Structure 1
Amino acid sequence: MQFQLKYYKVSLLFLVLTINTNGQSIQKKKWETPQAYVINEFQPKAFTIASNGSSAAIYIDPNDWKGVNHAAKNLADDIRKVTGTASRVFENTKPAKNSIVIGTIGKSRIIDQLIASKKLDVSSVRGKWESFLIQTIDGQLIVAGSDKRGTIYGIYDISEKIGVSPWYFWADVPIKKATALYVKQGRYIQDPPKVKYRGIFINDEEPSFGQWARNAYGGINSKMYATIFELLLRLKANYLWPAMWGKSFNEDDPLNPVVADEYGIVMGTSHHEPMMRSQKEYTNRKEQIGEWNYATNKKNIDQFFLEGLQRNKNFDNLITIGMRGEGDVAMGEGNDLENIKTLQDVVKGQREIMEKVYKDNPANHPQLWAIFTEVQRYYDAGLTVPNDVTLLFCDNNWGYIRRTMPEKEKNRKGGAGLYYHIDMNGGPWNDRWINTTTIPKLQQQFHLAYESGLDRIWIVNVGDLKPKELPIDFIMRFAWNPDVIPADKTMDYTVDWAGRIFGKEHAEEVADIVSKYTKYNLWRKPEAQVPNIFSIVNHYESDRVLKLWKDLVEKAESLQSKIPVQARDAYYQLVLYPVKASAGVAEIYLAADKNMLYVKQGRLSANDYYKRAHELFEEDQKLSAFYNDSIAGGKWKNMMSDIHIGYKMWSMPKANTLPEMKQIKPLQEPSMGVALEGSELSWPDPVQKAALPLFDGLAKSSYYIDVFNRGMGTFEFEAKADKPWVKLSQNKGLVEKESRIEVNIDWDILPDGTSEALIEIRQGKKILPVHITAVKAAMPKINEPYFGSLTGEFSIPSNKYNANIPGDNAKWVILSDLGRSDASIGIDPVTAPSAAIESAPRLEYKIFLPKMGKAKFCLGILPVQDINPERGLRMAVALDNQTPQILDARKGLVDTFGEYTPSNLAHSKVLKPLPALSMDIDFIGNGKLRRNEVFDNLRWLDIELDAEQSGIHTLKVFMIDPEIVLEKIVVNPDNSHTSYFGAVPIQHNLK
């Protein structure tokens, strides 16, 4: 019985299966794991790739594409790597029995003969983009591609299934060994990719990538690029923007474009390098060409464009058109209208050059126009390009797309695409050194792009390529078919990724580690670390952050010994180094924060944190040195050379430097000091009364008192409360450096209402009174969980709702692990129409407010950009049955490439917004951090609602526009006790 298995290859776990048996179709669920077509034990009618020390021969037509020949030879060697026995490759149109036959439809006489004899039905792939089928016919294994890359992808699909990872070179992923390899009888069809052009941009490549390439290959040349071409093809990608910092792909090594074309890679140039010319090609000829100004120097610039296109016309290119100013800045000194007119002339001239070079309609040759930085402003003002040109929209440099597909462009022949950054050198700030992009964020943003119609090109700025392996892998696989990795399956993808590299036994642990380190980095990217981000004195925030990092490091280090020896190099690159190095940078700033606070308070332990920061600084250097000099026998020398500690502006500093710290000189005699949770002050203080924050009977608050030494030696202290409902963890102690007293309340004996007490801290004749205020109240009867507070601020995670009511055209859905918290809430479908209040999806949260009157609500949303300026980024909020109030996130919106006027979007004392963003912004002022939605990855929308009575209320959140993603809600922010994350969420009345 013959069957057909139709699959979409992203990885084995990503397949959508249709099994046809006797004409019946059974649709399996997404993510249900099928049997792979490659097996290690013989089955009847299975094709034998290798067994008993021998392997099947490979036959290709000598007239087939060179890239097919190259990939076939790689497959032969991959079989050797797996089994120890290489297959022989024959360029012959008469294959022997029991052989692997590879060819491109219309290019391979072997394949065409099978089609003519009706032994091979290619109707499912013929004429399609980059498709292939694999089928056993008369004892032979046939790989037939619809085009050059379709055939190549079919070859590398077999390579990956037999155990050779696409990352075997670029991440030293070990080969999975086997003594025998078979292909089950059947017919396996690969449909075309959903995104036509899928590729990466090597950028910001100095010092790391450039130094590595010069050491390993003598330069950024064709030998080096061949390793990238192969990686892309093994990932089923097809497109590359080459390194361009003082580099010329076509002239530094004339073999570069030749090898790219032979491999099957479509070449392009970056968003600001038109007509297949690099910026360096112009700077090398600047005296000859003259000013880079099309309005005044059209003749010479046209000649420059003409020569570049003539040189590359025989290769497979995707041509960037348009023009920016020299050095990737805005073009021209005139106003926007003048610049738009000049750009229109540029495009007209470039199209005329294309027609001259190709002797053909330019519409027959793929082109893109990058709507980047100020060009988006020109586009919004009405600048257009020919209908066959692909509009390449962009993100805001930090991973949030600036436009979805405009409605007016839905029928554009050239379609639209996305230029996206997982690496950035420039405004608003550098993000180069390590991976700071989570898989849930990538899924959410690329899903939004794809669903809106940005599906012709996905090009991703990946910097040095390393250490961005994980996000590259995800984006390239997601691009093939975004439908098979929905938001609730991103962890499944990561587990599968880890399993393919380190084995199923450790897959879940590895996936958890890499998911967490990227998430923690996204709280505040390492290059954007500055002092005073996380609160030391409120909510144990800095201590909680430190513990999470330390727990992750411990887990990564513990797992290292369990990883097979042959996978240890890959483990260091993909897991251990990014975890330990990221944690080290984070702890340096946390230690520096405590050092400076404790110096101000006079604590001797300030010196311990000074020492710890210096130890971590040395450890950081050792970790990078081990990466550069030791892993894989020194293969990646210089690859980890980016400066990443001590940024003072957006650009990379000259050297790693520690944040400001001081050492404290102890007094000659022991002397008591006291510090309280909730305050950066210390006592004795001649002015301020010592008081702990309010104790909340609903939250069951507890706080601490630190008794510390300002001098040499030791001292004894005593602590005593004047009320029986105050409980102290210790009543006396001996202090060399510091000792902590935990203060709790016996809520059973505390009376309702507001109560006060006094704690006396005594050292000899010195007495410090610490004031206590506790609030307790009877709570209303309610059968549901709720959030609330008797004393002020409380937080609500967006996914902890009491009710989720769908709208007429959309619904709120949980987006697991997206954002700074455990999850966020977004809209499905993301292309739903804007909704009226009465038909909008609605979330409901039960909350307790202790008094009637105005209450402030701060809604934290992901920093979605102004992706559809024709309508808005709106949501609505209501309390109980009051009329909903609409919030528009565009008001005061921060755009990386433009200025904005501050509004009430941020609760100003909790998160302090920047007055503007620019390419050289300095965001440290007067010793205080001024926070910003771009760096914090969160935007705050503020609103006051009127509680008509105290007690339980229903907070309602309505979708108006579908791109809003809600992460958390902070109610009545406590401006006296600010923090980065806000109060720790506590849900009451849980059953």
Structure 2
Amino acid sequence: MMNPRMWPAMLALFAPATALAAPRCPGMVAACPASTPGALALLAPGRTATVVVDPADDAGVRRAAADLVADLKAVGGGEVRLAGALAGGATVIAGTLGHSPLIDGLVRAGRIDVTGLRGQWEGYVEQVVERPAPGIARALVIVGADRRGTIYGLYDISAKAGVSPWSWWADVPAQKHPTLFLTAGRVADKPVVRYRGIFINDEEPAFGGWARATFGGINHRAYEKVFTLLLRSRANFLWPAMWGKSLWDDDPATAPLAREMGVILGTSHHEPMERAQVEWARTKGGKWDYTANRDRLRAFWRGGIERRGESENLVTVGMRGDGDEPMTEGTAIDLLQRIVADQRGIIADVTRQPAERTPQVWALYKEVQDYYDKGMRVPDDVTLLFSDDNWGNIRRLPVPGQRRAGGYGVYYHFDYVGDPRNYKWLDTNAMPRVWQQMTMARQFGADRLWIVNVGDLKPMEYPISFFLAMAWNPDRMDLAAMQAFPARWAAQQFGPADASAIGALLTRYGQLASRRKPELIDADTYGVANGEWARVVGAWTALDTDARRLGARIPAASRDAWYQLVQHRIEAMTNLHRLYAAVAANRAAARAGDAAETSRQAALARRYYAEDGAIRRRYEVDTAGGKWAGMMAQTHIGYTGWQQPDADAMPALATVARPLPAGPAQAAPPRATIAADAGRAVDGGGVRWQRVAGFTANGAAMIATPASAAPVERPGGASPRIVYDVTLPTAGPVTVGVVAAPGLDVRGTGRHRLALSIDDGAPVMLDLMAGETAASWGRAVADNRRTGRVILPATRAGRHRLSLWLVDPEVVVEAVTLG
């Protein structure tokens, strides 16, 4: 049992932002270990807790209520029951406006305040009510504006009680406390982003192999777990796994289950009209070509809309080529506009109502954005889904203030298969970068749909939590909330005692892992002679040491969760870096003719390669009783091109007799590197600078907010800037470099600019995307940075002011270099 003295800290960390509990449990409807005036005894020894849901309410609501009952039993260990009618001792009364006679009666009687709730999308109210009905002294009443609002309210109480959304998916045990009170008062909440969800993708061999071993396939039993995770995380939307799979076709029970539970389904960017790609091959429909096979395609798509029925599912419109390829060479705007118009005609005909009554999305992914850039438009009710470049850098956003009925959204990536290299194995996402990009999306007005490609789902637990928490209310996830999130999340999984330390581990892991994806690392990534490999391995070793030291204190009940959520990713990445560092040292020693060192490093490399397999076994076999067998099957060692090899391969080792060629020479470091936050930030023109700590492995970044502010076309004078004090050792022209995040031009101008000046000299413009090619973009995303340089006019040796001027507010500055 948890020490009662730990309660206030724990509750302050993991409770929702609307109900944080401090040492004296202030706030309304907040979890508290002791009674306060007007508090409700949710759990108490010897007392039966009763959750009441009207049988007439939605099936998804009744499911969530049953989950709450199970959760409270897991937390308190006492008697908790589910009831369908009010009776003495009712503890929680939940229901949906207009669908629960119980709730509607309480509203008519004035017992519950639903001011402003009616008609909200997924809104809910939680209120501790005195004497809600005869024989009930006090109860918590949860009212949803719609069924998902009620569901989110029920799961919110589970979270407050101490049950993580990851209780099943990461084996996080309920945090035990047999006595639990909810403080008096009322809280209300609703989402800002209408559709919030994930895309399970690139799911072979890991997720697919695991699901077949566990459930006999990616079927309704597997998806039930996914749906529950989404709802517990206050998400509502799913693009299902689609590598040779159809959620609808493979198991006809899955789509009805999603509808029952309240999860909205869609199909990915290249699967229009509620049809999975594989279904076309299964129907033997012929060529995927609208000009040559129009009638069969129309019939195929009609079948998808007919199967959709009266669900809420979001329909993808448009068309890409078969196999997620471009549809044609060039940009066939007229053809694609005709396709969309015909698809909307099918929608209207099947539903017998105007097409705009059915929610639709047009995904501007890869070359499809070219159609948009060159003037193609779709009806105003269709959501425009912008995309990142598959590497976490959003490509385009709407013109600030430009509205459309269907709104705008963002398709983001935590996983990818494609150029310049697959990255599928581990979570390598730094949350400050995700936060910066999605904050920018919100500022530009892309807030109708947020969906993220999460690959195999595991081991993306932490970034999924962050993304979905931010999607619920991006404005609430300000800089301070983002920086507090790691500790809050750690407390939800492991309790308060070490939450700050665990959060720091997760943050540092994200910084180091985002330096370079593991699939892009090889023996030539860093230099041996210049000590770069030693420094990189040293940083990983220090993190691994800290994690092992902290892990030794984790209670036995939480060790499976600890390994999945924290330890595994750290030890796996540490070992991978050790492996390639040993290979690099082996090759360097062979070229130097040092036979003993060559042999020693080869032995180390083989040991680390074997340890990689042992780490996988610890995850798949030793953790959680083998529950996650197959989930770490993604290839990650031995890449030679963008696509994975069939299996991990030991890197080639050298001998003195057969030394391998030297890798590419490491670039000479600049004469001086200045931290982005080392200068004096000067705000102006409605734009202010923000220092984002831990943005990279090397430190903080400086960002401008709002990113949607107009570019400063003539920097200088009182416009925003950062001023650095520098010392130049010699007179003459000065080469100044800027290291920036590998962002893209979201305004469609093809520019990513800032300006630089020395002392009172005129600012010199620097466009980080000048001359951009596929190769330069590939280097930028592989290195996770863009670097640009300008030569400033000659000046004297000594002290000077170097000014970095804001031009395009979306540029993120990570460092400045001299020389």
TM interval, shorter chain, is: over 0.9
Q: Which moved more, 1:161-170 or 1:481-490?
A: 481-490
Equivalence for 1:475: 467
In 2: Cα distance, 1:342 partner to 1:590 partner? 52
2:226 is the alignment partner of 1:228:
yes
Distance 1:108 1:818 in 2: 48
The residue identity in structure 2 corresponding to 1:827 is A
Task: Select which of 56, 63, 66 maps to 1:73.
Answer: 66
1:881 is displaced (CA, Å) by: 1.2
1:38 corresponding residue in structure 2: 31
User: Match of 2:815?
Assistant: 968
Equivalent position amino acid for 2:374 in 1:
A
In structure 2, the residue matched to 1:844 is 723
Q: Does 1:950 align with 2:778?
A: no
Instruction: Determine the C-alpha separation between the residues in 1 that align with 2:776 and 2:440.
Output: 29
Does the 8 Å CA contact 1:487/1:816 hold for their aligned counterparts?
Answer: no
Query: For residue 244 of structure 1, what is the amino acid of its counterpart?
Result: M
1:878-934 C-alpha deviation (Å, 9 max, x unpaired): 11111111112231235xxxx4xxxxxxxxxxxxxx4675xxxxxxxxxxxxxx111
Counterpart in the other structure of 1:541: 532
Q: Does 1:297 align with 2:176?
A: no
Give, in whole Å, the separation in 1 of the partners of 2:643 and 2:563: 28
Cα offset, 1:136, TM superposition: 2.3
Query: Structure 2 unaligned runs (5+)?
Result: 1-10, 132-137, 659-664
**1-side partners of 2:771 and 2:651: how far apart?**
32
Which residue of structure 1 aligns with residue 589 of structure 2?
A: 598
Tell me by how many angstroms 1:35 deviates: 7.2
Measured in 2, the distance between the counterparts of 1:454 and 1:427 equals: 26
CA deviation profile, 1:508-551 (whole Å, cap 9, x unmatched): 2211212122211111110011232222222x322111111111
> Quick check: 1:936 aligned with 2:802?
no
146-155 or 524-533: which moved more? 524-533
Cα shift at 1:85: 2.6
Aligned residue identity for 1:152: I
Q: CA deviation at 1:871?
A: 7.3
C-alpha separation between the residues in 1 aligned to 2:777 and 2:459? 31
Q: Is the 8 A contact 1:809 1:833 kept in 2?
A: no
Query: Shift of residue 12 of structure 1?
Result: 4.7
Q: Tell me, yes or no, if the aligned pair for 1:491 and 1:511 is still in contact at 8 Å.
A: no
Shift of 1:10: 12
Give 1 or 2 for the bigger CA radius of gyration.
Answer: 1
What is the distance in 2 between the residues matched to 1:468 and 1:44?
Answer: 41
Instruction: Encode CA deviations 1:649-683: one digit per residue, 9 max, x unaligned.
Output: 111111111222213369xxxxxxxxxxxx99xxx
2:349 maps to 356
Deviations 1:202-231 (A, max 9, x none): 111110101111111111010110011111
* Pairs within 5 Å for 1:236-251: 236-251=234-249
Residue identity (%): 37
Q: Which residue of 1 aligns with 2:681?
A: 804
Match of 2:662 in 1: none
Question: Where do 1:425-464 residues align within 5 Å?
Answer: 425-464=417-456
The one-letter code sitting in structure 2 at the alignment partner of 1:943 is V
Partner of 2:369: helix, strand, or coil? helix
Offset of residue 615 of structure 1? 0.6
Q: 2:602, 2:115 → 1: CA distance? A: 70
Tell me, yes or no, if the aligned pair for 1:203 and 1:243 is still in contact at 8 Å: yes
* Aligned-pair CA distance for 1:594: 1.5
Partner of 1:623: 615
Which blocks of at least 5 consecutive residues in structure 1 are unaligned?
1-8, 20-27, 667-678, 681-692, 694-790, 900-913, 918-931, 973-991
Separation (CA, whole Å) in 1 of partners of 2:813 and 2:776? 24
Cα 1:442–1:16, aligned 2, differ >3 Å: closer, same or farther? Answer: same
Which secondary structure does the structure 2 equivalent of 1:304 belong to? Answer: helix
Q: How big is each residue's C-alpha offset from its partner over 1:125-149, in whole Å with a ceiling of 9 and x where there is no partner?
A: 1111111111122122211110010
Which residue in 2 is equivalent to 1:864?
Answer: 743
- Give the AA of the match of 1:317: N
Structure 1 residue matching 2:815: 3-state secondary structure: strand
Residues 397 and 428 of structure 1 are in contact (CA less than 8 Å); yes or no, is this contact kept in structure 2?
A: no
2:672 is matched with 794
1:216 to 191, 197, 214: 214
Matches of 2:380 and 2:482, distance apart in 1 = 36
* Pick aligned residue for 1:558 from 535, 549, 552: 549
Query: Could you tell me whether the CA contact under 8 Å between 1:595 and 1:607 is conserved in 2?
Result: yes
1:40 CA displacement: 2.7
Given that 1:103 and 1:151 are in contact with CA atoms closer than 8 Å, whether structure 2 keeps it comes out as yes
Give the Cα–Cα distance (whole angstroms) in 2 for the partners of residues 828 and 34 of structure 1.
31
369, 378, 382: which one aligns with 2:375: 382
CA distance in structure 1 between the partners assigned to 2:144 and 2:175 by the alignment: 26
SS of alignment partner, residue 90 of structure 2 = coil
Contact 2:16 2:160 in 1 (8 A): no
Larger deviation: 593-602 or 352-361? 593-602
Amino acid at match of 2:319: M
**Given the superposition, is the C-alpha separation of residues 424 and 86 from structure 1 closer, same or farther in structure 2, using an over 3 Å criterion?**
farther
Contact 2:14 2:492 in 1 (8 A): no
Inter-partner Cα distance in structure 2 for 1:16 and 1:113: 27
CA 1:877–1:44 in structure 2 vs 1: closer, same or farther (change >3 Å)?
closer
- Kept in 2: contact 1:15–1:33 (CA 8 A): no
Report whether the alignment pairs 1:568 with 2:559. Answer: yes
What amino acid is aligned across from residue 396 of structure 1 in structure 2? D
**1:118 Cα shift?**
1.8
Q: Distance in 2 between matches of 1:792 and 1:589?
A: 25
**What's the CA shift for 1:806?**
1.6
Q: Which amino acid in 1 is paired with 2:759? A: D
How many matched pairs? 792
TM normalised by structure 2 equals: 0.93
> Could you tell me which residue of structure 2 aligns to residue 979 of structure 1?
none
The question of whether the paired residues in 1 share the 8 Å contact of 2:29 and 2:184 is answered with no
- Larger helix percent: 2
Instruction: Give yes or no for the alignment of 1:179 onto 2:26.
Output: no
Which shifted more, 144-153 or 425-434?
Answer: 425-434
CA gap 1:325/1:871 in 2 versus in 1, 3 angstroms: closer
- Equivalent position amino acid for 2:728 in 1: L
- Shift >6 Å, 4+ stretches: none
1:483 positional shift: 2.0
Q: Which of 609, 616, 626 is 1:634 aligned to?
A: 626
Q: Which amino acid aligns with 1:77?
A: A
Q: Secondary structure, in 3 states, of the residue corresponding to 1:817? A: strand
- Comparing 194-203 with 648-657, greater Cα deviation is found at 648-657
Tell me the distance in 1 between the aligned counterparts of 2:34 and 2:500: 27
Quick check: 1:146 aligned with 2:145?
yes
Q: Deviations over 1:707-743 (max 9, x none)?
A: xxxxxxxxxxxxxxxxxxxxxxxxxxxxxxxxxxxxx
Aligned alpha-carbon RMSD (Å): 2.3
Distance 1:182 1:916 in 2: 54
Counterpart for residue 689 of structure 1: none
411 and 547 in structure 1: CA distance in 2 versus 1, 3 angstrom threshold: same
Measured in 2, the distance between the counterparts of 1:309 and 1:505 equals 52
Cα distance, 1:466 vs structure 2:
0.2
How far the C-alpha of 1:957 sits from its partner, in A, is 0.6
**Matched position secondary structure for 2:606:** helix
Aligned residue for 2:617, secondary structure, equals helix
CA distance in 2, matches of 1:195, 1:388: 16
TM-score, normalisation: structure 1: 0.77
